[in-house]
Amino acid sequence: MWKKVSAKELSLRSEVRMKDSPYMVATVKQIEGDYITLFRPYVATADFEYTGGVITYIGIEEYKIHSSTTVEVWDESKKEK
């Protein structure tokens, strides 16, 4: 079950739910001062008719949030029914 917490409660490797992408889970990479660095993988494909194939783009999106932000984290202690 997902629960809302202050970003100040995060630790390294915490999994944070982000709602602005199909890849909704980001991982805490670094905590420095008032900012928390998160990263998550992304993948995109482009199908070009003239090549007859698909080109896949794979990468990592990295960004920072302020510690005053409210985020959602996975709560292992509560099981969804």
Tens of pLDDT, residues 30-52: 999 999 999 988 877 776 666 66
The CATH number fitting domain 2-74, selected from 3.30.360, 2.30.30, 3.40.30, 2.60.40: 2.30.30
Domain ranges of the chain: 2-74
Band (28; pLDDT cuts 50, 70, 90): very high
Say how far apart CA 55 and CA 43 lie, in whole Å.
11
SS (H, E, C) 37-63: EEEEEEEEEEEECCCCEEEEEEEEEEE
Contact 43, 21 (CB under 8 A): no
Report which residue type is found at 51: T
Length of the chain: 81
User: Which letter does DSSP use for residue 14 in this model?
Assistant: -
pTM: 0.71
Could you read off the pLDDT of 53-77 as tens digits, one per residue? Answer: 677 788 898 989 999 999 988 777 7
